[in-house]
């Protein structure tokens, strides 16, 4: 469906009326397994000679529609769904890395990703080196002969920082490693990382893709543009695989080899599959993604402009503001808007931030973003609490920082709510 516009793809990509019943909405195929036509067809499925349904840990028809839709929206060759954004990241690195290998990541990350990369991944023998998403040279300086991937968020959480995707992509190309971009905050409506040199995109579909705070989900999309064979460092993709009678994934599947390997090996063995009910909810949310993102961005800019002019606010970190240091980057990468997630600093520091989140009425104080509802959190006391004071500041989550995820309500009501909360 590549010839159709984005808004049309958001509604139709991957879906068709159910062939069995004529149902127009993709059904929830709530099943664990599928009956084979015969022994030969079953053998062909297990040998990856044909694609089809074996077991819902690996493939499910409802989930497959979601995978195809996000791949179409991102402009990729294939998609793979997972149980959460964290699960999607784990599957990507499990497919790429080996013991002792390193990857470079921007330090401006969701706090849970900082923990996953610096703590949990160490148990696999994978090691992270940190860089600055606005400074491509910092990635270049971190490259070693052990580097196997480069990672950043397109718009970084919690600060809403716009990453220098083009510059970082050049570093990845020179190093001969895949460039992985978490596109959760931007969504493909605002920014498509493949157009700037990324090779793999990941999403926490829990956020804007689903958009209603009702389901956990993750997604991976492959661009099909990385040569996995050139360096000899990605053996899971290029060497004979004992699980499938010596198949070489890159040789056999070409520009969608990564997603096939991530499904047939990493998802199969680690098991963080997406439930069909959650896929259904995300699909429903994706139909209104363009409408919601337009309203999210308009509202966020209105709120940010009001905060910028308020004397009780020390600073506002929103790239959509004309005076922001990254406004030019926002115009380059995200001309439709800077997203709806950003941070600001209250005069009064930590205590003022805590009091603010305790006083709001419309904003919901919770650890999520990308909801139709406006959300607020004080990262230093919640999402980034596990980090040291120094690491919190580096991640953009210092003691005075408050993060907003601006929803689709009336912006006047949101501003009035923040006003009364700060007065309280």
The tens digit of pLDDT for each residue in 321-352 reads 999 999 999 999 999 999 999 999 999 888 88
> What does the domain layout of the chain look like in residue ranges?
6-285, 289-423
Q: Which residues contact 349 (CB under 8 A, 6 or more apart)?
A: 399, 400
C-alpha distances out from residue 348 to 158, 379, 390, 401, Å: 20, 15, 19, 10
Question: Domain 289-423, what architecture?
Answer: Alpha-Beta Complex (3.90)
Ranges 82-91, 142-151, 377-386, 397-406: which has the least confidence? 377-386
**Dist. CA 395–CA 377, nearest whole Å:** 15
Helix (H) or strand (E) holding 129: strand 127-131
Give me the pLDDT at residue 78, please: 98
* Residue 116 tokens, joined: 């996953």
Q: 341: closest CA among 235, 170, 204?
A: 204
Q: 137: closest CA among 107, 164, 109, 103?
A: 164
Helix (H) or strand (E) holding 203: strand 200-204
Give me the pLDDT at residue 34, please: 97
Give me the pLDDT at residue 23, please: 95
Give me the pLDDT at residue 1, please: 56
Q: 293: closest CA among 333, 336, 342, 343?
A: 336
Give me the pLDDT at residue 2, please: 56
pLDDT tens across 56-94, in order?
999 999 999 999 999 999 999 999 999 999 999 999 999
pLDDT of residue 367 exceeding 60, the answer is: yes
Q: Choose the CATH number for 6-285 among 3.20.80.10, 3.40.640.10, 3.10.129.10, 3.30.2130.10.
A: 3.40.640.10
Three-state secondary structure readout of 334-377: CCCCCCCEEEEEECCHHHHHHHHHCCCCCCEECCCCCCCCCEEE
Strand partners, 341: 405
Q: Residue 159, SS3?
A: coil
Ranges 152-156, 186-190, 282-286, 389-393: which has the least confidence? 389-393
> How does residue 158 score in pLDDT terms, banded at 50, 70 and 90?
confident
Q: Residue 166, SS3?
A: helix
Task: Please give the average per-residue pLDDT across 290-310, as a whole number.
Answer: 98
Q: Residue 25, SS3?
A: coil
Name the pTM for this structure: 0.95
**289-423 shares the fold of 6-285:** no
Task: Please give the average per-residue pLDDT across 267-286, as a whole number.
Answer: 98
- Percent of the chain clearing pLDDT 90 (strictly above): 89
Task: Please give the average per-residue pLDDT across 148-163, as a whole number.
Answer: 94
- Percent of the chain clearing pLDDT 70 (strictly above): 99
Mean pLDDT estimate for the chain: 95
Burial of 35 (0-12, 13-18, 19+ CB in 10 A): exposed
């Amino acid at each position: 469906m590549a010839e159709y516009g984005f808004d049309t793809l958001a509604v139709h990509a991957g879906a068709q009326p159910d062939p069995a019943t004529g149902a127009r909405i993709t059904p929830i195929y709530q099943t664990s397994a599928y009956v084979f036509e015969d022994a030969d067809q079953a053998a062909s499925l297990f040998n990856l000679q044909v694609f089809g349904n074996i077991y819902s840990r690996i493939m499910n028809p409802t989930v497959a529609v979601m995978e195809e839709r996000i791949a179409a929206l991102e402009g990729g060759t294939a998609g793979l769904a997972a149980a959460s954004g964290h699960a999607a990241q784990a599957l990507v690195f499990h497919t790429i890395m080996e013991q002792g290998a390193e990857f470079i990541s921007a330090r401006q990350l969701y706090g849970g990703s900082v923990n996953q990369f610096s703590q949990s991944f160490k148990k696999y023998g994978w090691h992270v080196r940190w860089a600055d998403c606005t400074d491509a040279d910092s990635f270049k300086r971190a490259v070693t002969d052990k580097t196997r991937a480069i990672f950043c968020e397109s718009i970084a959480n919690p600060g809403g920082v716009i990453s220098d995707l083009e510059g970082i992509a050049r570093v990845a190309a020179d190093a001969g490693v895949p460039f992985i971009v978490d596109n959760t905050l931007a969504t493909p409506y605002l920014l498509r990382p493949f157009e700037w040199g990324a090779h793999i995109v990941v999403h926490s579909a829990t956020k804007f893709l689903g958009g209603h705070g009702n389901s956990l989900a993750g997604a991976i999309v492959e661009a099909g543009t990385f040569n996995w064979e050139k360096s000899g460092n990605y053996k899971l993709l290029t060497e004979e695989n004992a699980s499938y009678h010596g198949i070489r994934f890159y040789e056999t599947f070409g520009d969608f080899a990564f997603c096939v390997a991530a499904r047939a090996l990493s998802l199969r063995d680690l098991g963080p599959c997406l439930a069909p009910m959650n896929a259904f909810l995300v699909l429903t949310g994706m139909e209104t993604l363009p409408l919601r993102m337009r309203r999210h961005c308009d509202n966020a800019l209105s709120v940010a402009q009001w905060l910028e002019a308020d004397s009780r606010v020390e600073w506002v970190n929103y790239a959509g503001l004309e005076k922001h240091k990254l406004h030019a980057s926002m115009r380059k990468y995200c001309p439709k808007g800077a997203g709806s997630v950003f941070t600001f600093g209250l005069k009064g520091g930590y205590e003022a931030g805590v009091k603010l989140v305790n006083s709001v009425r419309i904003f919901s104080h919770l650890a999520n973003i990308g909801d139709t509802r406006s959300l607020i959190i004080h990262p230093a006391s919640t999402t980034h609490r596990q980090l040291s004071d120094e690491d919190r500041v580096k991640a953009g989550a210092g003691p005075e920082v408050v993060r907003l995820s601006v929803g689709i309500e009336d912006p006047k009501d949101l501003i009035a709510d923040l006003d009364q909360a700060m007065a309280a």
